[in-house]
A and B are shown apart, each in its own frame.
Chain A
C-alpha cells in the first residue's frame, strides 16, 4: 500500500520546513542579504522620493531575484550532503510529487522573504504600500510561485553538475526574465493606484502553471543520475 502522491508531497514539504527551522541558515542568510542590499540602495539611490519612485518596482524584484538565488541554490544542498536524495528517489510515487513538495517549501520560504523585502523597502526606501497592498501581495505570491517552480527544477539539475554556483544563475536568469517583467510592471501599476489587467494576472499565472507542469513531468528524470 503506497500512499497517494499528495501525501508524499506533504511529507517532503514538512521535512523541508523542519530543516529550514532547524538550521535557520538559509532563511537568515537570505534575510540579511536582502537587508544589506536595501541599505546599499538607500545610500546610492537619489535622495528625492520622486526621483526614486520610478525605480522602486524594478529594484524590488531585482533584489528579490538575487536573494532568492541564494535560497534556491541551497534548496538541494541538504539533499546531496549525505546522499539523502536517495530517500526521495525511492519514494513510491511519481516523483513529480516530490518536486511539488520541494517547490511548495521553496514557495513558503521565498514568499516570506518577499514580504520581508517589501517591509524593508517600506522602512528604508519610503515605499508606501498602503492601498496597493492586496494587489502587491497577489503579485508577490504569484512571482514567488513561478520562481520556486523554475528554481526548484533548475537547482535540482545543477546540484549534480560541476561549478553549480556558477551555472545556476546562468540557467535561471534568461528564463525568469518574463516573470520579472510581468511582476515588476504589475507592482508598478499597483503602486500607482491603477488596476492590474486580467490579462497581466493570467500571464503570470500561466507562467507559474506551465513551469510547474514541466517540473512535475520531468522531475522523474532529474533525480536519477
Chain B
C-alpha cells in the first residue's frame, strides 16, 4: 500500500507538487498521466526515495522512505526513471552485478527462476558497454536493473520512450506479470490511450495537483 499525504515539492521558485494525497492499494497497476510539468516524475522520484519532499509525507507499506528503517527496505521499490541509472562505461553485465552487490544478491540468486538478462532479451548485449547500445536496449537494461531486487513496488517513468514495437509488447507482458504476482506497478506517462488496458487505475495530475482519479475505462480481459 502506497500512502501519500499533502505532498509538496518545491524546486527554486517552482512548486512541482502542490499538495497531493492518495492511496494506492497493493496489487494495483496505476497509470499516472498528465501533461509535461504536471509533477508525474517528481511524484515517482519521491516514492522511490530519490527526492525528499518539501512538505507532506509518504509511506510504502507503512515505511517512510526518508524515515528510520527505510534503508533495509530500499530494495523493495524498483524505479526506472528518465535517466538510465546505469554506468555508460560499464557493460550491462557489470552494471547488473554491481547493483546485485549493493543489495547483497549473489549471481546464483539472480540467475535462478528470475533472470533479468533472459527475461528482457539482453543476453546478446550483456558484454557490451551501455554507452554503445541502442536506445531500446538501454531502456531494457535499465528495467532489468530495477527488477533485479525483485521489488514489490515497481515505478516506471515514461517507460515507452524509445521502445520499438517488440520491446513495447515485452513491457506490456512484464506489467501484466507483475500484477499477477500481486505487486504494485505505478507508471507515469503522458500518452494514455494505447496503454490504458494495462492498468486498473488512472491518476491524473495537472500543475502539481490531483485532477482526476478513477478506474481505467478499459479493464483488462
Contact = CB atoms under 8 A, between A and B. Distances in A.
A touching B, CB within 8 angstroms: yes
Interface of A: 1-3, 7-8, 11-12, 14-15, 18-19, 22-23, 78, 81-94, 224-225
Interface of B: 48-52, 66, 71-75, 77, 79, 81-90, 94, 98-99, 101-104, 130, 145
B98 A87 contact: yes
B154 to A, nearest CB: 13
Nearest to A94: B71
Contacts of B88: 78, 81-82
A18 B83 CA distance: 22
A82 B71 contact: no
10 contacts: A2-B103, A3-B103, A19-B87, A19-B89, A86-B85, A90-B75, A92-B75, A224-B49, A224-B66, A225-B50
A78 B51 contact: no
Given A87-B102, A92-B102, 19 more contacts: A2-B71, A2-B104, A7-B101, A7-B104, A8-B102, A15-B87, A19-B87, A82-B130, A83-B82, A83-B85, A84-B86, A86-B79, A87-B98, A89-B50, A90-B48, A90-B49, A91-B103, A225-B50, A225-B52
**For chain A, what secondary structure do more than half of its interface residues adopt (helix, strand, loop), or is it mixed?**
helix
B66 to A, nearest CB: 7
A180 to B, nearest CB: 32
B81 A86 contact: yes
Contacts of A82: 83-88, 130
A78 B89 contact: yes
A90 B89 contact: no
A86 B83 contact: yes
A90 B74 contact: yes
A144 B36 CA distance: 46
Contacts of B130: 82
Nearest to B87: A84
A92 to B, nearest CB: 5
Given A87-B145, A92-B75, A1 B104 contact: yes
B51 A225 contact: yes
A81 B102 CA distance: 20
A84 B51 contact: no
Closest 10 CB pairs of A and B: A83-B83, A3-B104, A11-B101, A86-B85, A82-B84, A224-B52, A92-B74, A91-B102, A90-B74, A83-B85
Contacts of A11: 98, 101-102
